[in-house]
Amino acid sequence: MQTLSYTTLDRDTRQVRLSEVDAFALKISGGVLRDGDPGFEEARRIWNGSVDRRPALIARCLADSDVQSAVKFAAVHHMLLSVRGGGHHIAGNAVADGGLMVDLSGMRAVRIDAAKRLAHVEPGALLADFDREAQAYGLATPLGINSTTGVAGLTLGGGFGWLTRRHGMTIDNLVGATIVTADGAVHSVSAASEPDLFWALRGGGGNFGIVTRFEFKMHPVGPEVWAGLVVYPMAQARQVMRAWRDFTMSAPDELSVWAVLRKAPPLPFLPQSAHGTDVVIFALVHSGHVEAGERAAAPVLKFGDPIASALGPTPYAAFQSAFDPLLAPGARNYWKSNNFSAMGDEALDLLIAAAVRSPGPQCEIFVVHLGGAMARVKTDATAYAGRDARYVVNLHGRWSEASDDASVRAWARRTFEESTQYASAGGYVNFLTEDEGERVMASYGPNYPRLRALKRRYDPGNLFRMNLNITPAAALLLEGV
């Protein structure tokens, strides 16, 4: 009898008969891949090149029924289950050694209902797919900043980007979803239908099931916005970072200005003499009228004496992909991140010093400018709890060679540890790495007990554990949920 070895939920090894695998494959529209099959190597690869795992099976799902079959197969065999949307999460939870990968990358449809300003999005869609279709109608919803990011993972963890200060987080614009839970059932959820599960999906990560369809409300944006970059030498960092911090305290909601400290990439508008030098880059988007954006962003040019700038009317969808070359898949990545409700001088000085001792030209520290509409949502309105985060600092270790693993990770960890004294409580689960499971509880803050209770209701066996995991609560916590 021929069998296939696989990893269980308990990380043991078991065998399943190949006849059962073959029968399962017939239920999956896109087929099932095993090691050695054509397409297996490409399908198992994800954005973070330091993640090199080999699943036992890859189910290429194209419909809700495929996802149901995959969930039931994993549950029956107690098989470790992972879910791939865009495959972009830093922790690499889209793939597990010896597990079953539910590959949603073939489900990429985006349908815009312009009259109702709604978007219907499948879980394999990337930000580029969403933005392209939405901008055809002059619409958008808050997403991330890298067009190769998956909509599903971004949304389930919270989601923020250039439009967040004006229109809230991605989850604040989610109005409905279709989800397959651990028992294989399909649920249509919204504020009016199974509101507890809908609440949990808005920030609870992939802990509650596999979402096969998202419905978002849309906003008029673009097609052109005032956007671009202003670059200062690191010698002016203390001056310009303080000026930036003070400016962001009263900036209009339409304007987002993110700070990036790194070695200058070969940007076409920079003089060649600046390439590879330590710089502070301010990346900004004003999502209102272009003329208003030019006026609102003008002070950024006066923080100091810039090396160069590239600001102007820019297609919104184009700026959404502007950073893709610096975030291309395949490089090795390790992040550490903290939320900040305020950014004092000491914290700024620490980040500047860390940027100067950066271990490689691809490493960077970026500081997300938040607040605005996001902060006006109550902490308990969604699973995501970090509404007081005016800034999010991401220590982005990025490099090419495995020989540099230790030095880059040590730089990120040291800077994280030193900066934690200035940070606020909590974190952003979309930025947490595979070794930060202990930060999950703090990231959800006062919402964590309710999430654990709902986890027990919808996934008592913790089938969906390849994530920043919320463990099921004891039965007594279910009362009142």
Helix (H) or strand (E) holding 241: helix 237-248
Residue 481 pLDDT: 43
Which residue, chain included where needed, has tokens 């330590």? 278
Tens-place pLDDT, residues 230-245: 999 999 999 999 999 9
Q: Quick count: other Cβ atoms within 10 Å of Cβ 381? A: 15
Distance separating alpha carbons of residues 197 and 25, to the nearest angstrom: 30
CATH architecture of 224-437: 3-Layer(aba) Sandwich (3.40)
DSSP string covering 86-107: S---TT-TT--TTSEEEE-TT-
This prediction has a pTM of: 0.94
Distances from the Cα of 249 to the Cαs of 238, 260, 390, 406, in angstroms?
17, 18, 9, 37
> Would you say residue 351 has pLDDT above 90?
yes
Q: Cα 251 vs. chain centroid, distance in angstroms?
A: 25
**Neighbour order of strands in the sheet with 278-286:** 308-315, 224-233, 278-286, 255-263, 364-369, 391-399, 332-340
Residue 474 pLDDT: 76
Task: Decide which of 371 and 478 is more confident.
Answer: 371
In sequence order, the β-bridge partners of residue 229 are: 283, 310
Residues 6+ apart with CB under 8 A from 283: 228, 229, 257, 258, 260, 323
Residue 416 pLDDT: 96
In sequence order, the β-bridge partners of residue 131 are: none
* 1 pLDDT tier (thresholds 50, 70, 90): confident
Tens-place pLDDT, residues 234-279: 999 999 999 999 999 999 999 999 999 999 999 999 999 999 999 9
Among candidate residues 472, 478, 465, 473, the one with its CA nearest the CA of residue 206: 465
Residue 67: half-sphere exposure toward Cβ, Cα within 13 Å? 29
Top-level class of domain 110-220? alpha beta
> Would you say residue 187 has pLDDT above 60?
yes
* 298 pLDDT tier (thresholds 50, 70, 90): very high
Residue 479 pLDDT: 41
Q: Quick count: other Cβ atoms within 10 Å of Cβ 475? A: 10
Among candidate residues 159, 164, 227, the one with its CA nearest the CA of residue 371: 164
Interior CA angle at 67 toward 218 and 50, to 5°?
Answer: 80
Q: Quick count: other Cβ atoms within 10 Å of Cβ 72? A: 16
CB 311 within 8 A of CB 243: no
CB 373 within 8 A of CB 164: yes
> Would you say residue 285 has pLDDT above 50?
yes
Give the phi and the psi of residue 269 in degrees, each rounded to 5: -90, -5
Residue 475 pLDDT: 54
Residue 480 pLDDT: 42
Beta strands in 8-66 (DSSP E): 13-17, 32-33, 57-60
Distance separating alpha carbons of residues 262 and 340, to the nearest angstrom: 20
Helix (H) or strand (E) holding 74: helix 64-77
Distances from the Cα of 251 to the Cαs of 17, 245, 256, in angstroms?
61, 10, 8
Distance separating alpha carbons of residues 419 and 350, to the nearest angstrom: 7
Question: Which of the four CATH numbers 3.30.2420.10, 3.30.43.10, 2.40.10.480, 3.30.2130.10 does domain 3-103 have?
Answer: 3.30.43.10
DSSP string covering 286-338: E-S-HHHHHHHHGGGGGSS--SEEEEEEEEHHHHHTTTGGGG-TTSEEEEEEE
Tokens describing residue 443:
């990231």
AA letter at 196: D
* 434 pLDDT tier (thresholds 50, 70, 90): confident
Among candidate residues 450, 435, 416, the one with its CA nearest the CA of residue 203: 450
| Percentage above 90 pLDDT, the chain | 95
The burial class, CB within 10 Å (0-12 / 13-18 / 19+), for 474 is: exposed
> Would you say residue 456 has pLDDT above 70?
yes
Tokens describing residue 442:
């703090």
Interior CA angle at 334 toward 425 and 318, to 5°?
Answer: 90
> Would you say residue 476 has pLDDT above 80?
no
Tokens describing residue 140:
């958008």
Tokens describing residue 407:
């030095």
Q: In the chain, where are the structural domains located?
A: 3-103, 110-220, 224-437
Distance separating alpha carbons of residues 124 and 314, to the nearest angstrom: 27
Tens-place pLDDT, residues 162-178: 999 999 999 999 999 99
Distance separating alpha carbons of residues 27 and 59, to the nearest angstrom: 10
Residues 6+ apart with CB under 8 A from 197: 179, 187, 189, 208, 454, 458
* 477 pLDDT tier (thresholds 50, 70, 90): very low
User: How many residues appear in the chain?
Assistant: 481
